Amino acid sequence: MPTTPASVEPIIEPSALDRQSINTIRCLAMDAVQRAESGHPGMPMGAAAMAYVLWTRHLKHDPNDPSWVDRDRFILSAGHGSMLLYALLHLTGYDLPLEEIKNFRQWGSKTPGHPESHITPGVETTTGPLGQGFATGVGMAMAERYLAAHFNTEEHPLVDHYTYGIVSDGDLMEGISSEAASLAGHQGLGRLIYLYDDNEISIDGSTDIAFTENVPQRFEAMGWHVHAVEDGNDLVAIDQAIRAAKSETERPSLLCVRTSIGYGSPNKQDTAAAHGAPLGEEEIARTKEALGWPSDAPAFHVPEAVATHMREATQTGAEAHAQWDALYDTYEAAHPDQAATFARWMNGTLPTDWDAVLPTFATGTSRATRAASGTVLDHLVGEMGAYLVGGSADLTGSNKTHVNGQADMQASTPGGSYVRYGVREHAMAAAANGMALHGGVRPYVGTFLIFSDYLRPALRLSGLMEQP
């Protein structure tokens, strides 16, 4: 497994401002958790450097329009580290003022203990139950590739973005992540890039009490591109790893970044004590001193230079968005019918009188519900066409989820609208959540009722996120 990926373009050497910005993220996390008297400071402190590199040098997003359709998607699968995401959203100019950071984990705030996609601008999916974000991101990457296959032309790459995520040791222990990783490797999702926060600490202590597998080899066996970064504060190595992952077009990527939970804390770094409780005022003071933070700075201090630097994302995001708008205008002029369909799909607009095609079943007749479901799908797919994307967990014939004329979605046929999920009920439901959250398709899945117990956590999140 290479540990020094080849650079694909010049590397920007880290500056003092880079380090100060990273430490601002760490300090905001410490201060917010301390004020709330609950939360998880350790993960944001350890993962701040790699998140900073991703958000400032790679992530394509527009803080002024979090719903821009061609933005990169970012998932914090380790949702307990929510202050990492909230700090990034605040600093880069999303509608998340400092007062909301100060109200972390308080009733009615936009900064709940775990990220909620329907509450906080810029949060792509609700996370917290470990592994869910990992699997949801697979669905997002599937939707991106599917839409690109249907709408892109050589001159007009209308759908051209990545799905990024930060995943944890806990995420990779959960069974759903193995299901989803296997599916992603099979599908060859080259625009799916996860940074693995490998801090070797869990709530109960060191991960070696329960988790000693060779993670990189597991992912390589599932068809992933894998790179290691030995120092989670090495900005150049992290940058190189992301660049190399972006140049890999046929495999999803896992970047194994060795981090230190609670980085900078003299007494709690690399211990379970930094995971899920405030550090305490005295330890925070010592940590800030170790990080070179001004001793007279108040809690929630954001240096002016950092604020100016991080808010550059609003300008670069607006420029990228404007370039895409111009591309769409030329696409619309050249392909008006396709552009109209694209707009309708992305807006989630159903065809007029779509329900008029639904069949009726005579009272008193006997028909298995799965057979009735199959008949309904026949009519719906006929009306909605490729906008309806779905599949079954290796029960196609039994669940009647396939409609004549539907092609399979495979690595070689990414525009197929029928997904062969295999015996992976949990990943199937989470991937459908990802497709719905991404937008542009209307997903459906099928299995036997009793097997829905295998996917219930993802189904619960569907409801919490108010997804169709």
Q: Which of 100, 116, 144, 425 is catalytic?
A: 425
String of b and e for 386-414 (b: at least 16 CB within 10 Å)? Answer: bbbbbbbbbbeeebbbbbeebeebeeeeb
The angle that helices 281-290 and 16-36 make with each other, rounded to 10 degrees, is: 180
Surface-to-core class of residue 229, CB atoms within 10 Å of its CB (0-12 exposed, 13-18 middle, 19+ buried): buried
Q: In terms of residues, how long is the chain?
A: 468
Q: 425 an active-site residue? A: yes
* 233 vs 258: CA distance, rounded Å: 9
What is each CA distance from 139 to 11, 78, 438, 441, 442, in whole angstroms? 31, 17, 8, 11, 12
* 73 vs 145: CA distance, rounded Å: 13
Residue 362: partners with Cβ closer than 8 Å, 6 or more residues away: none
Q: Which of 31, 79, 84, 34 is nearest to 232 (CA)?
A: 84
- CA-CA-CA-CA dihedral for 198, 432, 160, 411, to nearest 10: 90
- Residue 292, phi-psi category: left (phi > 0), alpha (psi -120 to 50), beta (remainder): left
User: Catalytic site residues?
Assistant: 425
